[in-house]
Amino acid sequence: MRDVLVGVSGASGMPLALCLMRLLAAMPEVRTHCVVSDGARAVLRAECGAEAELLTSLAHATYAASDLGAGPASGSWWRRGSEPAAMLLVPCSMGTAGAIASGATRNLVHRAADVALKERLPLVLVTRESPLSAIHLRNMLTLREAGAVVMPFSPGFYLRPLSLEAMLEQFCGRILDQVGLAHDIARWTGQTAPDA
């Protein structure tokens, strides 16, 4: 079993977080953990008309964002399995990116990402903002230089997705690729997609 922590911060993109949680829940080799920030709870209500349980019910374990004593706040938790854990921060707000880049961790989402960086473990930040300020860009560069994968939500259209769900799933496949989780989601093969 591989532990994967999904952090959800208060940026637009809750349907992407939900798609990712559903895909992870269907992977028998993955033990999914989830922490939802207070900001994410508000955005989840606005975008999906739902409470955090929509996401947390798909996880094996959940943690309160205020619980800085939870397992993911410690480096030893990340190395308890046969494979080191990974963290996927989906979506990642610019406020969260700034907190992690500066080391000013105020909740478990921030602290867990900070621990992943210091332990040199996989951390993927799916950032959401447009346009980007110079501060946003500097913070993302700082995070990349610290070892994180910075992956703005930039969906591909080369597979000609016919629905929002197909577009979200294809991008989630790219997220899973970043931490080496096998999946059968369609990907670009170098061939032109067939006409829909």
Stretch 168-195: mean pLDDT: 87
Q: How far is CA 104 from CA 24, 99, 125, in A?
A: 29, 5, 17
Taking residue 194's Cβ as centre, other Cβ atoms within 10 Å add up to 6
pLDDT given for residue 193 in this prediction:
54
Q: Is the pLDDT of residue 194 over 60?
A: no
**pLDDT tens per residue, range 22-56:** 999 999 999 999 999 999 999 999 999 999 999 99
How far, in Å, CA of 16 to CA of 164, rounded? 10
Q: Is the pLDDT of residue 169 over 80?
A: yes
Q: Is the pLDDT of residue 102 over 60?
A: yes
pLDDT given for residue 74 in this prediction:
95
Q: Strand, helix or coil at 81?
A: coil
User: Any idea where the domains of the chain sit in the sequence?
Assistant: 2-178
CATH architecture of 2-178: 3-Layer(aba) Sandwich (3.40)
pTM: 0.94
Stretch 133-156: mean pLDDT: 97
Q: Cα-flanking dihedrals φ and ψ of residue 7, to 5°?
A: -100, 135
Q: Strand, helix or coil at 62?
A: strand
CA dihedral (16, 21, 27, 29) positive or negative? positive
